[in-house]
A and B are shown apart, each in its own frame.
Chain A
Amino acid sequence: MKSVTSGTPGKPRLTTSAMIASIAAEGQKTKPAPFGHALVELARSRPEVVGLTADLGKYTDLHIFAKQFPDRYYQMGMAEQLLYGAASGMAAEGFMPFATTYAVFASRRAYDFIHQTIAEEDRNVKIVCALPGLTSGYGPSHQAAEDLALFRAMPNMTVIDPCDAHEIEQIVPAIAAHHGPVYMRLLRGQVPLVLDEYNYQFSLGRASLIRDGQDVLIISSGIMTMRALEAAKELAGDSVDVAVLHVPTIKPLDHGAILREAAKPCRLVVVAENHTIIGGLGEAIAALLMRSGVHPAFRQIALPDEFLAAGALTTLHDRYGISTAEVTRQIKGWLR
Chain B
Amino acid sequence: MFTSSLVNAPSLSQRARNIRRNALRMGEVQGQGYIAQALDISDVLAVAYFHAMRYRPEEPTWEDRDRFLLSNGHYAIALYAALIEAGIIPEVELETYGFDESRLPMSGMTSYTPGMEMSGGSLGLGLSIAVGMGLGLKRKGSKSRVFTLFSDGELDEGSKWEAMMSAAHHKLDNLIAIIDVNNQQADGPSKQMMGFEPLVDKLEAFGWFVRRVDGNDLDAVVAAFDATISHPEPQPRIIIADTLMGKGVPFLEQREKNHFIRVEAHEWKLALAELDAGDRS
Contacts and interface: CB of A to CB of B under 8 A. Distances in A.
Interface of A: 50, 74, 76-77, 79, 81-82, 84-95, 97, 112-113, 116-117, 120-122
A197 B163 CA distance: 46
B121 A85 contact: no
Interface of B: 109-111, 117-119, 121-122, 124-125, 127-137, 139-140, 158-159, 162-163, 165-166, 169
B119 A116 contact: yes
B159 A82 contact: yes
9 closest A-B pairs by beta carbon, nearest first, are A89-B132, A85-B128, A93-B136, A86-B132, A79-B162, A89-B133, A81-B159, A82-B162, A89-B129
B122 A82 contact: no
Given A85-B132, A89-B133, A120-B109, A50 B166 contact: no
B245 to A, nearest CB: 26
Contact of A117 (B119, B136, B139, B158): B119
B93 to A, nearest CB: 22
21 contacts: A79-B162, A79-B165, A81-B158, A81-B159, A82-B162, A85-B128, A85-B129, A86-B132, A86-B163, A89-B128, A90-B132, A90-B133, A92-B118, A93-B133, A93-B137, A95-B139, A112-B122, A112-B125, A113-B159, A116-B125, A117-B119
Given A77-B162, A79-B162, A121-B110, A89 B119 contact: no
A86 B121 contact: no
B281 to A, nearest CB: 43
A87 B159 contact: no
A113 B125 contact: yes
A85 B125 contact: yes
B133 A121 contact: no
Nearest to B144: A93
Q: Which DSSP category, helix, strand, loop or mixed, fits chain B's interface? A: helix
A113 B133 contact: no
Contacts of A97: 132
B166 A77 contact: yes
Nearest to A116: B122
Most buried by A among B117, B124, B162: B162
A112 B166 CA distance: 19
A90 B163 CA distance: 14
Given A85-B159, A89-B134, A121-B119, A113 B128 contact: yes
A76 B159 CA distance: 12
Contact of A90 (B125, B127, B135, B159): B135
Given A92-B117, A122-B111, A86 B131 contact: yes
SS of A interface (majority): helix
Contacts of B169: 77
Contacts of B118: 92, 117, 121
Contact of A89 (B109, B122, B135): B135
Nearest to A119: B119
Contacts, number: 96
A134 to B, nearest CB: 29
A94 B144 CA distance: 14
Contacts of B158: 81
Most chain A CB within 10 A, of B129, B131, B132, B139, is at B132
Contacts of B163: 82, 85-86
Given A77-B169, A121-B110, A86 B119 contact: no
Max count, chain B CB within 10 A of own CB: residue among A82, A84, A90, A91: A82
Nearest to A71: B139
A94 B141 CA distance: 13
Which of A84, A91, A93, A95 has the most chain B CB within a 10 Å cutoff? Answer: A93
Residue with the highest number of chain B CB atoms closer than 10 Å, among A86, A91, A120, A121: A86
B123 to A, nearest CB: 10
Contacts of B131: 82, 85-86, 89
Given A77-B169, A79-B166, A120-B109, A89 B125 contact: no
Contacts of A87: 132
Contacts of A82: 128, 131, 159, 162-163, 166
Contacts of A77: 162, 165-166, 169
Nearest to A97: B132
A82 B137 CA distance: 17
Contacts of A74: 135
A74 B134 CA distance: 12
Contacts of B159: 79, 81-82, 85, 113
Nearest to A112: B122
Contacts of A94: 136, 140
A88 B129 contact: yes
